[in-house]
Amino acid sequence: MKRFRWTVITMLAYILLACGGHKQQMPAETTAKACLEAAETALSNDSVRQGETLLRQAISLAKESADWHTCYIAHQRLAESLSWSNTKEALRLAKRAVSIYEQHPDDERNHIILLDYAGTYASQLAYNTDGSYTEALALTERAHDLAQQERQPDLVCQTLTSLANIHWAMEDYPTALAYARKAEQLSTPELQQGTLQVLARCYLDCDSLAQAEATYRRMEPGDDIHSTYIIQSNLAKIAVRRHDAEAAEAAIDSAFEEAENFYFKALEQKDDYYQATLQQEQENERLSYEATLHRRTSVGIVAVLVILLLAVVLTWHYRMRLLRQQRTHETQMYEQEKRLLQQKSENQQAQLHQATEVVTFLQNFILQRSEVIQKLNSNTTSHISLSIREWADVERTLNAIDNDRIAHLREAYPDLKEEDIQLCILTRLGLSNRSIGNIYGLTISAVQHRKLKLKKDAFHEPDPEVTLEQVLDRLHSERTNSNYNPIK
């Protein structure tokens, strides 16, 4: 009982701990994905700090739940967010994302994108620190080779553009121009503006002004003010190089106009950012309140379930105790009945033994009263002769007191000779071999031989240690128990 109480207490403590940590018991994989989605929403609304915080939380939860896909995607998003403020950290995160993917691969397209991003960040770091571009080229070339192997035209175009940017940063303008031309040939409508911008820049630095101007004029920035500013400012540079003052003035005016538009657009985006931040804080408060309410409701439900579970456990324990008591009582009753039956059996055996002794006494008494048997039991050493009537009288007496022993013997073994029957009768009467020899006029050894031959030939008993008396008693016992199967 004491052990049961401790079990119940331990179970209660575990359930209460589970209730207290209900928020932590949410599916970790789902939480990691939700954090990643919330981070992308925040970043799209220019909530950079909040987005980065959510991305770090998504990385932590994804590691705990072994959700490696979410883990490397969150690393890549965080690296992208930090690429302008902390290029070194961005490169570290991008390389970590590649490492996680290579340990737990799923989609080879993601592998190419991760390598391309890592190469871009390595190039930015080398450009900012005047370092080596070896790592940047190695990562981007791996991405390009994989894109070609996987036959991904858009990724081939993207990696060619990255290689062109790296060689441009290395001031290897002819190689950069060659990569940019290949990228422009493979570009899709979504990638065309980016590839044209890189191509035009390479033309400009290779002093191919006509091709650079034609390429810039092919670009359609649409509502992208930054791209428009880049196009106009580079057209102004081209005009200046051509010593075309009027065109340069128009291009510069257009560039400043676009710069003003860009500035006012930035102010509007800043205002929108603060409005979105305020709305996000209000939404977070609402979500926090709902989470608290949900947690309290869950604790209440769990408490009710605990009470119900305890009621079930106590009921089960009470029923088990009743069953154990009932089984103990039944065991005691069974042992008592067993002892009574054993005592009764012993009494019956004792009574049967007494009855057997009485029957044996009466049989011997009757046999001793018979005149023929008294004649056979006489101690005379002279020849004893019995008539047919006397033999019949002895057999009848034996059948009467011995449950038709001789009659059953004649029935079971009809091939026995009369002298064999007589030998069985004399053996049953317990006469010694000497007395039997006086009846038949034989020696003791001859009588023994005759018994042995009868036992072996008639009753098929090969064991010399078994006497004829034992064989006759066994046959009579089998007959009495209704299991007699005579051997013929």
Higher per-residue confidence, 429 vs 323: 323
373 pLDDT tier (thresholds 50, 70, 90): low
CA–chain centroid gap for 471, Å, is 68
**Per-residue confidence band for 26, with pLDDT thresholds at 50, 70 and 90:** very low
Count the neighbouring beta carbons within 10 Å of the beta carbon of residue 301: 11
- The Cα-based distances of 413 to 338, 459, 475 in angstroms read 44, 9, 11
The residues near 221 (Cβ < 8 Å, ≥ 6 apart) are: 193, 227, 228, 231
Average pLDDT over residues 189-210: 85
Calpha distance 282→276 (Å, rounded): 10
Query: Would you state the pLDDT for residue 442?
Result: 82
Q: What percent of the chain has pLDDT over 70?
A: 78
pLDDT of residue 92: 92
Q: In 3D, which of 48, 95, 26, 40 has the Cα closest to residue 70?
A: 40
Residue 430 and residue 229: Cα distance in Å, rounded?
A: 141
Confidence of residue 244 (pLDDT cuts 50, 70, 90): low
In the predicted model, is pLDDT for residue 29 greater than 50?
no
Please say if the pLDDT value at position 276 is more than 80.
Answer: no
- How far is the CA of 29 from the CAs of 37, 70, 287, in angstroms? 13, 9, 20
Which of the four pLDDT bands, split at 50, 70 and 90, describes residue 388? confident
- pLDDT of res. 429: 83
Which pair of tokens denotes residue 457?
């030939």
| Contact between residue 412 and residue 389 where contact means Cβ atoms under 8 Å apart | no
Residue of higher predicted confidence among 383 and 228: 228
Model confidence pLDDT, tens digit, residues 247-265:
655 666 676 666 666 656 7
pLDDT band at residue 351 using 50, 70 and 90 as cut-offs: low
Domain ranges of the chain: 18-282, 371-480
Cα separation, 182 vs 167, whole angstroms: 14
Please state, for a pLDDT cut of 90, what percent of the chain lies above it: 7
pLDDT at 301: 92
Q: What is the mean pLDDT of the chain?
A: 80
Q: What is the model's pLDDT at position 381? A: 57
How far, in whole angstroms, is CA 382 from its chain's centroid? 97
What mean pLDDT do residues 101-111 have? 88
Give the length of the chain.
488
pLDDT attached to residue 374 = 62
- Compute the half-sphere exposure of residue 65: CA atoms within 13 Å on the CB side of its CA: 20
Q: 284 pLDDT band (50/70/90 cuts)? A: confident
Read off the pLDDT of residues 113-164 as tens digits, 9 standing for 90 and up: 998 998 998 888 888 888 888 998 999 999 899 999 988 888 889 899 999 9
Q: If pLDDT is split at 50, 70 and 90, which confidence band does 307 have? A: very high
pLDDT value of position 230: 81
Question: Minimal CA–CA distance to 442: which of 471, 469, 422, 462?
Answer: 422
Report the alpha-carbon angle 203-209-212, nearest 5: 50
Asked if the model's pLDDT at residue 448 lies above 70, the reply is: yes
Q: Which of 19-28, 220-229, 284-293, 349-358 has the highest mean pLDDT?
A: 284-293
Mean pLDDT calculated for residue range 206-210? 84
What digits encode the pLDDT tens for the residues 285-299?
A: 888 888 888 888 989
Question: Could you tell me which of 288, 277, 278, 263 has the C-alpha nearest to residue 48?
Answer: 277
Q: Report the alpha-carbon distance of residue 363 to residue 398 in Å, rounded.
A: 9
Tokens of 276: 């979105």
pLDDT for residue 432 is more than 80 = yes
Q: Which CATH superfamily is domain 18-282 in?
A: Tetratricopeptide repeat domain (1.25.40.10)
- pLDDT surpassing 80 at residue 21: no
pLDDT of residue 2: 46
